[in-house]
Amino acid sequence: MTDLRISGVCYNKYEAELAEKIENTINEWGKDFLVENRWFIADDDNPDAEKFKRVQGTVREWTAERFKDTDVIIYIAPVVRVVRYIGNLIEDQAKDPAVIAVDVTGKYCIPILSGRRGEAYDIARVLDSELDMTFINVTTPNDSTQFDIAKYAEVHDFVLSNPDYATEVSTAIHAGDEVGFFTDYTVVGNLPGTMVWKNEGKLGVYVSPSYDNAFFSHTLWLIPRCITVVVRCSKEVSYKQIEKFILDAMKRCCFYPEAISEVLFAGNSESRYAARRFAMEYGTSFAAITPEYSEKYFGKNEKDMIFDRALEKRTGRGKTFIKEARDENMECSILMKNVYIRF
């Protein structure tokens, strides 16, 4: 009988290299007892990671299956993404598996669910000691002498609006001074340190992609990477045209450009390079929704229906804030995904 069943998932060949290190480390650690260690990859187009099984369906669907047959699930992904996958599946600590997020650089390992017997902490400590990762226990009681807002932002994939205000926030918390906190998103857990829920005052943290409201005299935004920008081009356009078009659309929503996590493109191949360059310049992922991609998943259908379904598959549930066309050459849609904040 297997003592510990572990499943992990990564997304590309670079993360697969990290996944292999984690797999080997866990196997070495568990050589004195029976460990079933299975790793999967979610990239269908990666020929260099044949060692791993392919995820069938979406990672969300894969997660639901692993909740039934696994003791520990390891994701090489940002914490916020992992929380989206597991949010609707959590029921009871006595039944739920342990869940660990490892950031894509391999610097941090973060237990999210401890597991039935605290397995998440055992694995995280092994990765901490053997692979020189930093074990961050986000489930322990808040300690105002240790909480660092900049480190929290880095681990959870938020962007800081102002590094000086981040230093001011951390200094205030360490000193035991009150710091305001406000967001419209769902928050899991207690606010850390001396943070309190309020929307006015001298110093505070606001989690939002929008700069429309500054609730505090010194407002530190934690900007979630939650925006998907979809660009459709009917004619060839330049990088500068696409950049201005997207930034103008973001500005009309009062959204920080740093909130963009993904650029999806549909259109002619000449404009695709301009859209890809925008994604590279702004540090986001990029994907082209091609007729071949659409037909692969949805079969032949009306052109707009194929695109819309492909878009839905890529982005998940979201809300369209802008749909704008200019000179009949470009159309831009902005979607915001749900965000969960965990302390």
Alpha helices per DSSP H over 139-214: 149-155, 163-174
pLDDT at 143: 47
Give the torsion sign (CA, 122, 126, 128, 129): positive
Alpha helices per DSSP H over the chain: 13-29, 59-69, 79-86, 119-130, 149-155, 163-174, 239-252, 269-281, 291-298, 303-315
C-alpha distances (whole Å) from 39 to each of 87, 101, 262 are: 22, 14, 25
Domains of the chain: 4-135 (3.40.50.11220), 149-224 (3.40.1390.40), 227-337 (3.30.420.180)
pLDDT at 9: 92
CA 314/CA 291 separation, integer angstroms: 14
Q: With a cut of 70, which residues of the chain have pLDDT below it?
A: 1-3, 31-34, 43-50, 138-146, 290-327
Token reading at 43: 């990239």
CA atoms within 13 A on the CB side of 228: 21
Number of Cβ atoms within 10 Å of the Cβ of 314: 16
pLDDT at 33: 61
pLDDT at 99: 92
pLDDT at 215: 93
pLDDT at 65: 92
- Bridge partners of residue 203, in order along the sequence: 218
Number of Cβ atoms within 10 Å of the Cβ of 233: 22
